[in-house]
Amino acid sequence: MIERSFSSLAWLTFKDLSGHRTYRLSLLAVLLIPWFLMVPASLFLIDMGKVLLDMLFTGLHGWLFAYIFFIATPMIARDIELGIANIFLTLPMRRTTYYGARFIGLLGGMIPLFTLYLLSSLLTIFWASHAWQGYIPNTLWLSGMEGMLLICLPYISLMGILFLIASRATGAAEISVFLVAVWILCWSIPPVLEALQHPDVLSKTSPWLVALLETVHQFLPDLTSSQISLRLAHELPLDIGQVLGYCAQHLSYTTLAWLTGAVLFIKRDLS
Amino acid sequence: MLVLALIIAWGRSTQSEVTHIMESGTWSESSVLWHKASAGSLPGLGADLAILNVFNIYAQVTSGKQSGETWKMALLDKLHIAQSLDPYFNDTYRLTEGLLAYEAGKFDKAIDILAASVPFLHQYEPLMVAAFIAHQDIHDQQLAASLARQAAMQPDAPPLALSYAAKLTSKAAGCRFAIAFLQARINVTPITYRQHILNKIKKIREGEACQQEIADSL
Amino acid sequence: MKMTAISINQLKKTYRSTVVVDQVSFDLHHGEALGLLGANGAGKSTMIKCMLGLVMTDQGTVKFSAQPPAYLPENPQLPLSLSAMDLIQFKCASLGMECSHAENTLNQLGLPPAKHHSLLRTYSKGMRQRAALAFALCGKPASILLDEPMSGLDALGRAEVLTLLKQRKQAGMACLMCSHIVPDMVQLCDRILIMAHGKACEEIVLSEHSMQQVALLEERLAYWQVEALPS
């Protein structure tokens, strides 16, 4: 049974989020963004559906990034830096309950944003397929929906990492620096490793650097999801094994990051 | 307020127009790898931006702001980037045909890009265009015939592609090779198209040049 | 005989090589108020955090007779996108308690009804302090730990807070108040524990709330500041 204090704090977190002006503006922005993205998509020749999906996926990456960096990070940083967490922990509340409820509350905050963005994107696709007949396949909305659901997973992992960092960090600056560093590494290491498979590049790179990159990569989640979104944008079928592997790795990574963070958080001093 | 707004407008008007947006650097496999690294999760968007740059280059060329070889290299560079980031993107191949081949005159490079589409698109069209360019513009009949045969082997190839491949093959390697190619296609072609292939074989066999070739070989 | 609400035994906390709380022991009974008096850096706040489990202790035990105490931190930081009533309802929901007296507590602390449902970002500093105290007091805790509870309050606010705390104390709540402002402590506390350099140096029982007592405490505080210096 879920603890009463867990559900109460998760709900309070969501309520707190919805009270922020940034969050309310984000709700409005995600409704409008897909319609604006039709403008660049209309510039292309044949694959306008593909370009529209590229734009919609990019928009999703953009607001998910913004949510984690500009809404979730400040909230968790304030909790630790200013001692808001102490108010909840002295109710009394177990640290794992606080840590879990905040995590679920912040993930829950993504749901209204995602739902609105998805609905607005689907409407955009339907409208575009009507307006650009012959250029947008009728089943594009299905790929779009699938892609958007899959793109969310790496950001859930990133949320897990945010909590892992916050479990030991002392404030906003520390959390932001480490999270940005992780994000940059997650973004750039997989393509660099891909490049290193090229014999020319490999011959010019020192072996210790390759080993270092491989090691770092093993500790970080694969945030790219690039091949999946590329195939979906072209309505190419996805290998079910690949999709399951992708989902499993992100959900496992999130759980692992959360659990590690919870263990560290239990043992830390809160000022 | 109005004065300040006017000053801003004046300040902007004094800025020179950007005309050197094109990089003159040449494409290389390693440069594409860095483009992939910087595109991260968004290779599709990277390809879209490269194609937008192609439009931009073309707009500058048609307005007379660019001339010489630089823009051709930049065009090639952008098309290579677009293809390597998103090899499924049809616009890349359409622009390769329209701009790189017929506007910039880079026929051999255009053929390279179009031929590289095979493992991704499995469409006959880019190969057919490549075959046509090889035949018509660089007059390499062997290459044209080879590309046309590849085009005819794609799942969406219509009877026209087969005819064209047979014709080019006949011209480049002789009618016996063309007939052998068509016979090989019979079993993998939908039944509705088979009669068309048989007619084509018959037509080639009956041709004066082919009869001469068969006679010579005997 | 009064029941023990909080019992602290040999509590010790060290940050690297610095001893911040040095084997402090005391008992606090229901219906009693104990003041922790000490200069800045004496270890008062750290000790309260150790008692609440916010800071890990190196040694010693902390026992509560009933549920763990409520807590009012120094300069309480609250989620500003929520209202005072949101917070109180959350606490009641978390603890599974009825909070029918929440409105009354907020009124008693000088928060007008019109403000109960306003976002905390619209509150002044003093009003936030009162909202935090109301949050701590709701659910009728058996004991409360107050870390500089009067900071940010005007004279009227101090009086209102003291009145409410006295009422709760009479109803059996145990109060542990830490401060470096002697007159405030004298008004509420029955006993004062002077802390200096992490040590509990002296306990003084207050017989009356007078200016002489204030003077005495200030004198003892100054004495222990010098006397308890680590060798």
Q: CB distance from A82 to chain C under 8 Å?
A: yes
Rounded to a whole number, what is the distance in Å from the CA of A253 to chain C's nearest CA? 28
Q: Compare CB distances from A92 to C56, C68, C96 and report the shortest one's residue.
A: C68
With beta carbons less than 8 A apart as the criterion, state whether C71 and C145 touch: yes
Tokens of B157: 């190839």
State the pLDDT at residue C222.
83
Nearest CA in chain A to B40: A187
The DSSP annotation for B154-186 comes to STT--HHHHHHHHHHHHHHH-HHHHHHHHHHHH
Q: Compare CB distances from A86 to C68, C73, C90 and report the shortest one's residue.
A: C73
**By C-alpha distance, which of B24, B18, B14 is closest to B59?**
B18
Q: CB distance from B37 to chain A under 8 Å?
A: yes
B180 alpha-carbon distance from chain centroid? 27
Rounded to a whole number, what is the distance in Å from the CA of A198 to chain C's nearest CA? 50
Examine the pLDDT at B23 and tell me if it is beyond 70.
no
With beta carbons less than 8 A apart as the criterion, state whether A223 and A158 touch: yes
Neighboring chain C residues of A89 at a CB cutoff of 8 Å: 52-54
Segment B134-144 shows an average pLDDT of 86
Neighboring chain C residues of A269 at a CB cutoff of 8 Å: 49, 54-56
Residue ranges per structural domain of chain B: 30-121
Lowest mean pLDDT among A44-48, B175-179, C56-60: B175-179
State the pLDDT at residue B179.
80
Q: CB distance from A266 to chain C under 8 Å?
A: no
Q: How many Cβ atoms sit within 10 Å of the Cβ of residue A46?
A: 15
Q: Please write the tens of the pLDDT for every residue from B32-66.
A: 777 877 787 888 999 999 999 998 888 888 887 76
**Residue with more model confidence, B41 or A5:** A5
Q: Please write the tens of the pLDDT for every residue from A57-72.
A: 999 999 999 999 999 9
Examine the pLDDT at B217 and tell me if it is beyond 70.
no
The DSSP annotation for A208-247 comes to HHHHHHHHHHHHS-----HHHHHHHHTTPPPPHHHHHHHH
Q: Compare CB distances from A20 to C55, C69, C81 and report the shortest one's residue.
A: C81
Examine the pLDDT at B19 and tell me if it is beyond 50.
no
Cβ–Cβ below 8 Å for C86 and A20:
no
Examine the pLDDT at C86 and tell me if it is beyond 50.
yes
Mutate to test the interface with A, among B48, B52, B122, B125 (most CBs of A within 10 A): B48
Rounded to a whole number, what is the distance in Å from the CA of A189 to chain B's nearest CA? 8
d(Cα A15, Cα C214) in Å, to the nearest integer? 46
With beta carbons less than 8 A apart as the criterion, state whether A47 and B90 touch: yes
State the pLDDT at residue A144.
93
ipTM of this complex prediction, to 2 decimal places: 0.87
d(Cα A77, Cα A85) in Å, to the nearest integer? 10
Q: Compare CB distances from A54 to B48, B90, B95 and report the shortest one's residue.
A: B48
Q: Please write the tens of the pLDDT for every residue from C167-226.
A: 999 999 999 999 877 888 888 899 999 998 888 888 888 877 677 788 888 888 888 877
Share of chain B above pLDDT 70, in %: 86
Q: Between β-strands C33-38 and C191-196, what pairing exists: parallel, antiparallel or unpaired?
A: parallel
The length of chain A, given as a count of residues: 271
Nearest CA in chain A to B88: A234
Cβ–Cβ below 8 Å for C94 and A269:
no
With beta carbons less than 8 A apart as the criterion, state whether A41 and A128 touch: yes
With beta carbons less than 8 A apart as the criterion, state whether B111 and B81 touch: no
**Cβ-count burial of A199 within 10 angstroms (0-12 exposed, 13-18 middle, 19+ buried)?**
exposed
Q: What does each C-alpha distance from A46 to A50, A104, C198 come to in angstroms? A: 9, 42, 76
State the pLDDT at residue C177.
93
Cβ–Cβ below 8 Å for B43 and A45:
no
Cβ–Cβ below 8 Å for A233 and B44:
yes
Neighbouring subunits of C (3+ Cβ pairs under 8 A): A
Q: Compare CB distances from A195 to B37, B45, B52 and report the shortest one's residue.
A: B37
Neighboring chain C residues of A71 at a CB cutoff of 8 Å: none
Cβ–Cβ below 8 Å for C53 and A89:
yes
Segment C49-61 shows an average pLDDT of 92
Cβ–Cβ below 8 Å for B91 and A192:
no
d(Cα C208, Cα B107) in Å, to the nearest integer? 104
Neighboring chain A residues of C81 at a CB cutoff of 8 Å: 15-20
Rounded to a whole number, what is the distance in Å from the CA of A82 to chain B's nearest CA? 35
A63 alpha-carbon distance from chain centroid? 9
Examine the pLDDT at B138 and tell me if it is beyond 50.
yes
Q: Which residues contact A163 (CB under 8 A, 6 or more apart)?
A: A76, A99, A102, A103, A257, A258, A261
Cβ–Cβ below 8 Å for A43 and B52:
yes
Q: Which residues contact A239 (CB under 8 A, 6 or more apart)?
A: none
Evaluated on CA atoms A73, A76, A81, A82, the torsion sign reads: positive
Cβ–Cβ below 8 Å for A187 and B40:
yes
Examine the pLDDT at A241 and tell me if it is beyond 90.
no
**Residue with more model confidence, B30 or B46:** B46
A136 pLDDT band (50/70/90 cuts)? confident
Vertex A214 angle, CA A209 and A216, to 5°: 95
CB pairs under 8 A between A and B: 89
Residue spans of beta strands (DSSP E) within B89-147: none
Q: 3-state SS of chain C? A: CCCEEEEEEEEEEEECCEEEEEEEEEEEECCCEEEEEECCCCCHHHHHHHHHCCCCCCEEEEEECCCCCEEECCCCCCCCCCEHHHHHHHHHHHHCCCCCCHHHHHHHCCCCHHHCCCEHHHCCHHHHHHHHHHHHHCCCCCEEEEECCCCCCCHHHHHHHHHHHHHHHHCCCEEEEEECCHHHHHHHCCEEEEEECCEEEEEEECCCCCHHHHHHHHHHHHHHHHHCCCC
d(Cα B20, Cα A201) in Å, to the nearest integer? 30
Q: What does each C-alpha distance from B94 to A7, A39, A114, A150, B6 come to in angstroms? A: 56, 21, 35, 30, 44
Cβ–Cβ below 8 Å for C78 and A5:
no
**Residue with more model confidence, B138 or B200:** B138
Checking B165-174 for CB contacts under 8 A at 24+ apart, the result is B165/B131, B166/B200, B166/B204, B168/B131, B168/B135, B168/B141, B168/B144, B169/B145, B170/B204, B170/B210, B171/B141, B171/B145, B172/B141, B172/B142, B172/B144, B172/B145, B173/B142, B173/B145, B174/B213
Tokens of B94: 């359409």
Q: CB distance from B39 to chain A under 8 Å?
A: yes
d(Cα B211, Cα C125) in Å, to the nearest integer? 104
Cβ–Cβ below 8 Å for B44 and A57:
yes
Q: What does each C-alpha distance from C226 to A146, C39, C195, C201 come to in angstroms? A: 71, 11, 12, 11
Question: What total of structural domains would you count in chain A?
Answer: 1
Q: CB distance from A24 to chain C under 8 Å?
A: no
The DSSP annotation for A87-132 comes to HHHTTT--HHHHHHHHHHHHHHHHHHHHHHHHHHHHHHHHHHHHHT
With beta carbons less than 8 A apart as the criterion, state whether B92 and B113 touch: yes
C-alpha count within 13 angstroms, C-beta hemisphere, residue C95 = 23
Neighbouring subunits of B (3+ Cβ pairs under 8 A): A
Mutate to test the interface with A, among C6, C64, C81 (most CBs of A within 10 A): C81
Mean pLDDT of chain A: 90
Look up residue A37 and give its amino acid.
Answer: L
Segment B132-153 shows an average pLDDT of 87
Q: Please write the tens of the pLDDT for every residue from A167-210.
A: 999 999 999 999 999 998 888 788 778 777 777 778 888 889 88
With beta carbons less than 8 A apart as the criterion, state whether C194 and C43 touch: no
Examine the pLDDT at B21 and tell me if it is beyond 70.
no
Rounded to a whole number, what is the distance in Å from the CA of A145 to chain B's nearest CA? 17
d(Cα C194, Cα C220) in Å, to the nearest integer? 8
Nearest CA in chain C to A269: C55
Range of the domain at A14: 4-267
User: Which strands sit side by side in the sheet containing C143-147, from one edge to the other?
Assistant: C70-72, C143-147, C174-179, C33-38, C191-196, C199-205
B218 pLDDT band (50/70/90 cuts)? low
Neighbouring subunits of A (3+ Cβ pairs under 8 A): B, C
Cβ–Cβ below 8 Å for C95 and A5:
yes
Cβ–Cβ below 8 Å for A87 and C76:
yes
Segment A14-35 shows an average pLDDT of 94
State the pLDDT at residue A123.
96
d(Cα B95, Cα A153) in Å, to the nearest integer? 35
Q: Compare CB distances from A229 to B44, B90, B95 and report the shortest one's residue.
A: B44
C-alpha count within 13 angstroms, C-beta hemisphere, residue B91 = 28
Examine the pLDDT at A28 and tell me if it is beyond 90.
yes
Examine the pLDDT at A116 and tell me if it is beyond 60.
yes
Which C positions 63-122 lie with beta carbon below 8 A of chain A? Answer: 67-71, 73, 76-79, 81-82, 86-87, 90-91, 93-96, 119
d(Cα A73, Cα A65) in Å, to the nearest integer? 11
Q: Please write the tens of the pLDDT for every residue from C106-155.
A: 888 888 888 899 999 999 888 898 899 999 988 888 999 999 888 878 88
State the pLDDT at residue C208.
72
d(Cα C228, Cα B136) in Å, to the nearest integer? 100
Tokens of C62: 């902390």
B26 alpha-carbon distance from chain centroid? 19
Share of chain A above pLDDT 90, in %: 62
Q: How many Cβ atoms sit within 10 Å of the Cβ of residue C130?
A: 26
